[in-house]
Structure 1
Amino acid sequence: MDQQERIQAAAKFLLQAPPGEINDVLNDIREIISDDDALQAGVQSSLQEYNLEQFVTADIPGHDHQVIVSEAGRVEVAEGGEERFLDPRSKTTFAFDHLRLEASDPQPAEVDEDAEQTRSSLEASATTYLAAHFHDGVTSVFSVPSTSKKFIVQIVANKYNPTNFWSGRWRSEYRIDLESSKVEGKILVNVHYYEQGNVQLSTTHDTSFDIPPSVQSAPPKQAAEKIVALIENEEGKYQVSLNDGYHDMAEKTFKGLRRALPLTRQKLDWDRVLGYKLGAELSNSRGTLGGAQQGFKK
């Protein structure tokens, strides 16, 4: 395998990096490639793709909040121009370094004033929701260009616990259409548990629901509160279903995968599975995969 082929393989590895571990993957790849300039040039597009998909966050110079860097906030630029992203809260655009994860060069941005009252109300309600249910969560709310009736709410929460060998990320996105009274959403959860092994959870949940007629006639602040309450209900139900899944995984799935006899040639007492570390961790909704997911939400 020549150098270019190794760099292409490295770019694919980066896209599969677990939450909070992309620097570890990149450093391991550096040892293989041994050419930082070629590596940086070769994986730049993969870093960009990874960051946008994973909802990385950025500190905006001159402001005390973070914004989600994603496709929803990408600003159209002239061909050959610098890629920029929007922070709707501060009404600025900024350049973003996908390697260093740093925002720079903030500039004032024009916003759709017809949509701003509803957008800012959704943002305020989503921020309140995060403060009540998430640890270190970030939300950004974008209005869809060319319409004052469509909005995108994005949420991301990260929990890194390398001391106990796990990391996790909760992402969710909701596309709100006030014209059709519909909300289309998706929730993505990624968890990596790697103590004496390598167990990963990657799951996507699609959801949709109608906006009640009463919300349509409500003022922006009250309408936003009701829409976010519906989002809270959807995410709460999904968290419960995940916890139930962890329980079934320990009680049923892993038993179905067992060999007739382990390498010790002694039968495994599955009635005492909680005495074994992996089984105990997977059965405990606040341990390993369950604990990481629980760690996103209070």
Structure 2
Amino acid sequence: MLAVATAMEDEAGRRYRQMAERMRLQGQQTLAALFIFLAGIEERHAAQLRRRSEHMIGRLPETAAVAWELPEKFEEEEGRSYLLTPYTALAIAVRNEDRAFAFFAYLASHATTPAIRQLAEELAKDELEHAALLRRERRRAWRKERPRDFVEPVEVHSFLARVAAIETFSAKAHRELSTKLGREGHPFEATLFEKIAGDEERCAADAVEQGAAAPVRPIEGVRPETIRDGLRLLEYAFDQYAEIAERANDEAVLSAAQEFQRRALERLAYAQGAIGDPLVGR
């Protein structure tokens, strides 16, 4: 556990320094400073784990190979002019802090000794705090980079119309992804996204039943081709509803946005939990 934990901290520190440099080159000095700050925290944690390893087992941990989950072509473009936007950088960081939290929480819940449980709980708490900080920054970045078709709903019926459009598109896209995964020999993931599509269809129906403005204008978007794409589509819905809830002035809009935000978060957590952390399996 110490070996994997130390490797995860080392990897996070390295990635945060890479992101800081990308942000600096793009003139995002505040965000660059945030990533430098986080890199320093991760590096101090790695040093603390090495000292703890010497104290607990009498030697330094033999760090394992641990890789962050990164967008396609991120590695290939690392030394080139790949444009990493602030939102994308923060989304990657949040996803990997969540992954680290899931790993340590898994260890804490399955620990057979108090020492392992205590250490895993401490590390899980640290990762949760990092993720919370990054989510706040991601919200700000999303507001600056949000889609051009995003229209702030001023009353509940227009918000419900947007929910119906998002959920209808997502359900169709996730069902198509489910069919594709089934053909490719991934029955577990195919069933997962089929269930998610069913819940999205129920959300769309609920929005219409609650009085969505008609006609509901369908949204356009890229159909997910991979499991990661499917998860990103779930994140998109959550981000839309969270943004509206955060800015709503109308009590009815706020209440509805919070409810659909909750349902979107449940789907996202269910998918991430069911697919599993690559470090610990399903």
- Shared fold (TM-score greater than 0.5)? no
TM-score, structure 2 as length reference: 0.29
Query: Which one has the largest radius of gyration?
Result: 1
Give the helix-richer structure, 1 or 2.
2
Give the strand-richer structure, 1 or 2.
1
Specify which structure has the bigger relative contact order, considering alpha-carbon pairs within 8 angstroms and separated by 6 or more residues.
Answer: 2
